[in-house]
Amino acid sequence: QKPTSEGLSFLQKSSHTMGGRKDICRGKFGTTFDAQKWRSLDPCGLIGVSLSMSIHIFCFLVIAAYLVEGSLIANGIFLLLYTPSVVLALSSLYMAWITDPGAVPMGARPLVTVRRAPSGELRDTTSTRAIRRCHKCNDNYKPNRAHHDSVTGRCIVKFDHHCPWIGNAVGALNHKMFCLFVFYTMSSCVWSVVLVVARVAKCKSPFVDPTEDILESCEFWHHNWMILAVTLVSLIFFSFTSCMLCEQVEAIKTNASKIARMKMKVGQAGTELSRVTEEFNEMFGGDSNRVAWHWFLPFPVTFPQGMKKVVLGYEWDETFDPSPYEEPNQGDEEEGRIEMTASKHRTVSSEKSTNAGFQSSLADNDPPGTLTKRSNSIERAGNVGGTLT
């Protein structure tokens, strides 16, 4: 099924007014419904991303120029610990910025949940009440765990908050990258402070030979404003990121966003906002709840087959009409039930007529009394078959 012309015209008309703030390059980048690649173009967010990258690069260059010269231990810490932390922090920042956090696409449909009753009968448990819609997203379907982000202008599944440091909303699909960015930023701050302390110990040590070249670098390093700036920035951001990481530990354990946890805490929500499964961690993906190596790498989150739509809470395909999902009216559902009942009656009538014809053919050829025995056998066989069915 291809999108209809009415749906396309609706999407082109609405994407620049409601449902996404803006896009550039003829819709190639942005947060609108028809943007090809997700990019939050909020000015404050772009400044925050640029500032985050600049601080990491500035500290890296200053440490490489002034704090590792003439020390084997400092060079080892710089190459083996500090540099990987900076690279992973910048990679996580970039992935958190460009990744779609879980925005609900136009035309998304609610999931149809089917449960098996104790008798083995399949029952459709879809609620008959009206589905949730977001009037800010052109009345598009809004899953239970989605909340509207006013900065990107979209409904985000498991929306936690909008972070200016990554220039993006934090949701179901980029929460992992956000946590990794915070973790590796804190790690780089720790190692930068360690390198500053190592330089102080090296230059102030009474065991330093005055004839060594190290004295030349020790003469001016503590008067350099850039080293002082690195020290202050490292201490400030270590305090900031450590507090943020402690807050995110609860999100990792509960698999619930900050908004969901707050609502459940005050009794404004039930189980619809809690995690959907215990088989894997929703934030880091994979197929197990156990900590794995992919938890620490800024790769896109993957889920077991068929579970991504369960986590996101909606069904969507590129062939869906790009317009708000319309619920089937009550008349259509009633007609479907009537048709199903009529079909069952026709099947039962057909089986009765078949049995009657079979019994009639037996009566023409068998001696008296045989028909009654065979009828009883057929009846017992039918009962057994019905029971097995």
pLDDT band at 46 (very low <50, low <70, confident <90, very high): very high
C-alpha angle with apex 124: 309 to 286, nearest 5 degrees?
25
pLDDT, position 288: 85
154-190 per-position pLDDT tens digit: 999 999 999 999 999 999 999 999 999 999 999 999 9
Calpha distance 254→237 (Å, rounded): 26
215, containing H or E segment:
helix 214-218
pLDDT, position 178: 96
**Mean pLDDT of all residues in the chain?**
77
What is the full DSSP assignment across 341-385? Answer: HHHHHHHHHHHHHHHHHHHHHHHHHSPTTHHHHHHHHHHHHHHHH
Mean pLDDT over residues 187-200, rounded? 93
pLDDT band at 298 (very low <50, low <70, confident <90, very high): very high
What is the full DSSP assignment across 303-335? Answer: -STTTHHHHHTEE--TTS-SS---PPPHHHHHH
Residue 66 has pLDDT above 90, yes or no: no
73-106 per-position pLDDT tens digit: 999 999 999 999 999 999 999 999 999 999 999 9
Q: pTM of this prediction?
A: 0.74
CA nearest neighbour of 176 among 303, 65, 86, 283: 283
Lowest mean pLDDT among 6-15, 125-134, 239-248, 321-330: 6-15
Mean pLDDT over residues 258-278, rounded? 69
Side chain identity at residue 151, one-letter code: V
pLDDT, position 119: 43
Calpha distance 191→195 (Å, rounded): 6
pLDDT band at 117 (very low <50, low <70, confident <90, very high): very low
pLDDT band at 318 (very low <50, low <70, confident <90, very high): confident
pLDDT, position 125: 42
Q: What are phi and psi of 331, to 5 degrees?
A: -65, -40
